[in-house]
Amino acid sequence: MLDQVRATIAEHSMFAHGDTVVVAVSGGPDSLALLHALRALRDELRITLHVAHLNHQLRGAESDADAEFVANLAREWKLPATVEARDVAAFAREKRLSLEEAARHTRYAFLAEVARRVGARVIAVAHNADDQVETVLMHLLRGAGLAGLRGMLYEFVIRNSEFVIDNAITEKGITNDELRIARPLLDVTRSEIESYCKQNGLTPRFDRSNLDTTFFRNRLRHEVLPYLETLNPNLREVLRRTARVLADDYDFLLAQTREAYGQFAREDEGAITFALARWRGLHPALQRGTLRLAVQQLRNELRDVDWTHVEAARRVAMEKGAGAKATLPHGLMLVVGYDDFVVADATREPLLPDWPFLTVERIALPLPSVVELPGSEWVAVVERAASPLKVNDRWTALLDADKIEGELALRCRRAGDRFEPAGLAGHSKSLHEFMIDEKILSAARDRLPILVAGDRILWVCGWRVDERARVTQDTQDVLRVTIRRNWTRTSADERGK
């Protein structure tokens, strides 16, 4: 076993000369064998060891005895140790977590805390090859993509002593706020560990809760796997080999995902915006990957982000129009726009398109005039039109002046607004229904300028004029209304920078 541990450490460059390594020791066979092996290799590896044990306070006197065992062992082996207790059950109740999840969360937070106290950048944990088999099978049964089916990584990263995150999504390298977790026993089977303990006179503690088949992993270990091995005696090796193959496939796909993300995503103020048309041209695997990466970038977390969440969001971005939304885990929301879609905090104010908007209820428009839209860099220009009468700009409307009665104004929409959109042969339509049919973003509807004469709608700016005011071949007097950038103000602002 020692040779295999040495080879695994070397292959994955787990430790550097001079490292202080915090070793997570429960007192069971796996962690006891890990500590013994690292103690035997420490001079060769030029590392310093620090033992860490957390009493989860879940098994009463047995938990206390485990803690005492580890403390005594560390003293006997002349290793520094930190042995502490946490009320995991209370934490689970407070955070509404399962005991398994609460224990995991508390344990890694404790290990990170110990590492920072002793100046360590790496923590060694005792997951073994059989744990890997159970993890792959568990992910398969619960539903997972490549990221889950590749099983546990030889190394991963924790940040802020809060969340365990998947280092495969981030670039290699550890920041000052990151700690590496290493698994030196991941190529060693449970039977090899038990033999190693016997050969070296180690007497580990045994946790009876590992026999409790009400826990999903224990049921896999004691009931499901033995049955599956009657169908294929080499099942464990098959699953380990499959995990290694899928890990390579995942690494390749991840490289492609990062490239696509770099091309089509823009990070800005807690939101990630994707170029919609180009993103829709990606392979579905890359679409899912870029969405996962967006969650990772915003939350430093991919736990609980499963295929169903990502696929539902992907289909909304692929198939739905502006204003459509999809919920993502960790309080995130995907919102589709016209030319892009945004992944951001669900409570974040929606990003509005680069359109002219009103910040007041009504603005009078004399004829002729150039009127600034308050609080914006847009102006409304009202003038008599000269030939030729062509409009190539959505923010310009041509109207028959002889069919207009009342004072011109821009205003926001009002309850009960109706008009006769050009092209509907004089049929009346509610403004609310029109905006829905035209897929105008709901967040933009209340502030989109509406051109009126008195109370009659002449033009839903940027969309459609009223049939009764449109220019025909009989029109004699043409009114042109344009909403454009206030170039004078913009230029002045640029000069002032």
Q: Identity (one letter) of the amino acid at 281?
A: G
- Give how far the C-alpha of residue 362 lies from the chain's centroid of Cα atoms, to the nearest Å: 41
Q: Is residue 251 part of a domain?
A: no
Q: Is residue 87 part of a domain?
A: yes
- On the question of pLDDT at 117 being above 80, the answer is yes
Residue 345 backbone dihedrals phi, psi, to 5 degrees? -60, 135
Question: 319 and 381: one domain?
Answer: no
| Cα-based distances in Å from 106 to 82, 86, 222, 481 | 15, 8, 26, 64
Q: Is residue 18 part of a domain?
A: yes
40: containing domain: 2-127+183-231
Question: 194 and 309: one domain?
Answer: no
Question: 118 and 18: one domain?
Answer: yes
Q: Is residue 242 part of a domain?
A: no
pLDDT digit string, tens, across residues 288-312: 999 999 998 998 777 778 888 999 9
Q: What is the mean pLDDT of residues 7-15?
A: 96
Domain stop point among 319, 345, 371: 345
- Give how far the C-alpha of residue 337 lies from the chain's centroid of Cα atoms, to the nearest Å: 19
Reading the block at residue 421, the tokens are 């959109």
* Lowest-pLDDT range of 208-222, 272-286, 364-378, 417-431: 208-222
For residue 237, give every residue at least 6 positions away whose Cβ sits within 8 Å of its Cβ, in sequence order, or none.
none
Domain stop point among 314, 345, 376: 345
Share of the chain above pLDDT 70, in %: 93
pLDDT digit string, tens, across residues 186-195: 999 999 999 9
Length of the chain: 497
Q: What is the mean pLDDT of residues 144-161?
A: 82
Question: 223 and 264: one domain?
Answer: no
The domain that holds 336 is classified in CATH as 3.30.465.60
Q: What is the DSSP letter of 19?
A: -
Question: 333 and 412: one domain?
Answer: no
Question: 378 and 490: one domain?
Answer: yes
Reading the block at residue 185, the tokens are 């026993």
pLDDT digit string, tens, across residues 248-273: 999 999 999 999 999 999 988 789 99
Domain stop point among 345, 375, 408: 345
Q: Is residue 306 part of a domain?
A: yes
Long-range contacts of 209-213 (CB under 8 A, 24+ apart): 209/58, 209/59, 210/28
Question: 273 and 388: one domain?
Answer: no
> Residue 95 — pLDDT band, cuts 50, 70, 90?
confident
Residue 206 contacts residue 119 (beta carbons within 8 Å)? no
Question: 370 and 483: one domain?
Answer: yes
Residue 178 backbone dihedrals phi, psi, to 5 degrees? -125, 150
- Secondary structure of residue 312 in the 3-state scheme: helix
| Cα-based distances in Å from 366 to 293, 369, 439, 458 | 52, 6, 31, 15
Residue 162, pLDDT score: 45
The domain that holds 196 is classified in CATH as 3.40.50.620
Query: How many structural domains are present in the chain?
Result: 3
Question: 7 and 120: one domain?
Answer: yes
pTM of the model: 0.68
Q: Is residue 320 part of a domain?
A: yes
Residue 284 backbone dihedrals phi, psi, to 5 degrees? -55, -35
Question: 377 and 332: one domain?
Answer: no
Question: 76 and 103: one domain?
Answer: yes
Question: 200 and 335: one domain?
Answer: no
Nearest to 191 by CA among 181, 199, 182, 183: 199
Residue 497, pLDDT score: 47
- On the question of pLDDT at 175 being above 90, the answer is no
Residue 489, pLDDT score: 53
Q: Is residue 11 part of a domain?
A: yes
Q: Is residue 243 part of a domain?
A: no
Tell how strand 362-364 and strand 408-411 pair up: antiparallel
Please tell me which residue, 168 or 151, carries the higher pLDDT value.
Answer: 151
Residue 186 backbone dihedrals phi, psi, to 5 degrees? -70, -15
Strand-pair partners of 241: none
